[in-house]
Structure 1
Amino acid sequence: MKSILILLSIFFLTVHSQTITVLSPSSGSEITPGQDVTVQLAFGNSLTGVEHVSAVIAMINCAGAPCPIDASDSLGIPLFAGNYTPQYHEQNLPPYENFTVTVPGTLAAGTNMLTVAHFMLVGASAVPVLQFDNVTVSTPPSASSTRRETLIRGRTVYV
């Protein structure tokens, strides 16, 4: 019985030490609605066999309210869903893959959350594992939502 508990705890620690991480954009970065942003997803070195199945990148529109603590209940607006195949590119970074996504034009100004879900199979017995990561990002007010002063027929009008 003790050996089964030890084996399960080793498996648990191995799975949880291998996680997906959003390297870019970093937490607090400014992203502009309607623009493209490069999302860099990294996955640390693995001693156990891992088969990456897919990743989903999404955006939670916090709309002036506090963002959730994590994205395990809802990912938000999907920006990408598909294969995830991290590769080594630089010696000082873990394997990663870059994705270019378009930030929704309807994103509220303020703090919003970029979320990631990652599905993989771990070990020889192909244990299914679903992971989440997120970063909060800053969104400036769009040009159309800011008040501008315009002179029309000799009167100042705010639009």
Structure 2
Amino acid sequence: MKLLLFLSTLFLAAFSQRIALFSPPTGTEVSPGQDVTVQLVFGNSLTGVQHLNLVISMLDCAGTACPTDAGSGLETPLFVGNFTPVFQSGNLPPYENFTVTIPETLSTGTNMITVAHSLLVGVSEMPIVQYTNVTVSTP
């Protein structure tokens, strides 16, 4: 019984810590070649977290409906590197801003910015990969 309680607590602690994409908001209009600030937030946690890496990418939906599952593919990487969120001004949880350039070849219509984030959580350093996304509009 104690093992089951321990494992369920570990599971809940691991999956309650999520990365969130605060900016750009859904529906933002972006143009090919434009620089866009992507703001990623990761809530403060009592459980130990080690951020491993981050990929910010653009999925060109090419005039079709974008997938609802952010983990269905990354397509064109815009940033690959470290994620080191910190407390800054205001009431936001720890966050980091990234400036990325929208690909020149992006189709018009609805497209998707996808973030893949890998991390180790807790004393056992359980590996997790998280995905989040936002749809943007390209004129």
TM-score by length of 2: 0.96
Structure 2 residues not aligned, in runs of 5+? none
Question: Is residue 67 of structure 1 aligned with residue 66 of structure 2?
Answer: yes
What runs of 5+ residues in structure 1 fail to find an aligned partner? 141-159
Aligned length, in residue pairs: 139
Within a 5 Å distance, the mapping from 1:99-114 to structure 2 comes to 99-114=98-113
Please tell me the residue identity of whatever aligns with 1:113: M
Q: CA deviation at 1:75?
A: 1.1
Letter of the 1:116 partner, please give it: V
In structure 2, distance between residues paired with 1:9 and 1:28: 37
Q: Aligned partners of 2:72 and 2:13: how far apart in 1? A: 25
Structure scoring higher RCO (CA < 8 A, sep ≥ 6) equals 2
Cα shift at 1:130: 0.7
Give, as a single letter, the amino acid of the residue that structure 2 aligns with 1:86.
P
Q: State the shift of 1:34 in Å.
A: 0.8
Residues in 2 aligned to 1:8 and 1:125: alpha-carbon distance in whole angstroms: 11
Structure 2 counterpart of 1:76, one-letter code = E
SS of the aligned residue for 2:3 comes to: helix
| CA distance in 1 between partners of 2:8 and 2:89 (Å) | 32
Report which stretch shifted further, 91-100 or 56-65: 91-100
Largest Rg, 1 or 2: 1
Aligned to 2:120: 121
| Root mean square deviation of aligned Cα | 0.9
Q: In structure 2, what is the equivalent of residue 49 of structure 1? A: 48
Identical columns (%): 60
Which position in structure 2 is the counterpart of 1:147? Answer: none
After superposing on structure 2, the runs of 4+ consecutive aligned residues of structure 1 that deviate more than 6 Å are none
